[in-house]
Amino acid sequence: METKVDELKQDVAWFLDHLKHERGASEHTLLAYQNDLHAIAIHFAGQELPHWSQLTTSMLLSFEATLGAPMARTSSQRRVSALRSFLKFLKRNNVGPTIDLPSTGGFKPPKTLPKALTKPKVNDLLAAAVPEEAATYRDRALFELIYGAGLRISEAVGITLDAVRLNDQVIRVTGKRGKTRVVPLPDETARWLRQYLDEARPKLLKKPMEQLIISDTGKVMARQTAYQRIRRMATLAGIEGHLSPHTLRHTYAVHLLQGGADLRAVQELLGHESIATTQVYTQLEMDEIRKRYLDAHPRQ
């Protein structure tokens, strides 16, 4: 069996070399692939597989049957994904099997619903961000960009001055893959951004900068710092549990839908490429409708 394992591992080594030198994979990625593919090679060597080109559908199904509990779903998905990438590489080099590549679909974790803040909790956060100094004005402006405009944290800290048009109450946002969208600003968000620009940003600024959000040291605010400032606001508001900027973005979407916004419009505002990504929020709506129905129904 050791001879068969060694022969199967030779092609694994070829694939890892390709990942390292042609794809620029990190050591962490290479080690993960190596561990998974070596375990897979040992399995198929036990199935008397002489070469990867002779892998059969029944062998593949037998391998997939070994995955799942007690192995974590994410580990199972990673292992199948590693095998799929490896076999795809062998096929491109004309030494792979002729069978269909394995699918990771059965091991993908179910989509989890986003956790949104209630409107009273949002009000608590607002009350905690009472501007007393330049930094708290800045924190409120950051909050308004994420909750008021639904920006990702990377988008919020990357917004430039020329992207903000307060007279028109819109901002131009560059999102994932360089895709640009124009997002309307609610009245309160526009008002707080104007106050920040007039009363706080000049005090934080140490040298001319194009970024809107400035850190306490006069530099571009790092995403990690933005996380910390949002958590500080949550602590002041007495909100327990984990609160991240992404929670505020989720809350923005949920509150829009609860207010009657069209799903397609919310997709555009969030910068989602696929409507399927946005549809997860409709489940939140159905949960709320179901709860109200059960509370009101006389048979309950």
The answer to whether residues 211 and 159 touch, using CB atoms and an 8 Å cutoff, is yes
Alpha-carbon radius of gyration of the chain: 26
Q: How far is CA 291 from the centre of its chain?
A: 29
Q: What is the DSSP string of 52-88?
A: GGG--HHHHHHHHTT-STTS-HHHHHHHHHHHHHHHH
- Residue 152 appears among annotated catalytic residues: yes
What residues pair up with 220 in beta bridges, in sequence order? 214
Query: How many Cβ atoms sit within 10 Å of the Cβ of residue 134?
Result: 18
**Rounded Cα distance, 255 and 123, in Å:** 13
Active-site choice (38, 219, 246, 255): 246
Query: How many Cβ atoms sit within 10 Å of the Cβ of residue 260?
Result: 6
Active-site choice (88, 119, 176, 291): 176
- Residue 272 appears among annotated catalytic residues: yes
- Strands 164-165, 180-184: pairing kind: unpaired
Active-site choice (73, 108, 115, 272): 272
- Find the length of the chain: 300
**Rounded Cα distance, 37 and 65, in Å:** 17
From first CA to last CA, the distance across the chain in angstroms is 64
- Residue 293 appears among annotated catalytic residues: no
Active-site choice (137, 196, 252, 281): 281
Q: Is 146 left (phi over 0), alpha (psi -120 to 50) or beta?
A: alpha
Active-site choice (78, 249, 250, 252): 249
The answer to whether residues 116 and 255 touch, using CB atoms and an 8 Å cutoff, is yes
- Residue 255 appears among annotated catalytic residues: no
Active-site choice (4, 138, 140, 152): 152
The CA–CA distances, whole Å, from 259 to 119, 131, 153 equal 12, 28, 24
**Rounded Cα distance, 60 and 64, in Å:** 6
- Residue 227 appears among annotated catalytic residues: no
The one-letter amino acid code at 76 reads S
Catalytic residues: 152, 176, 246, 249, 272, 281
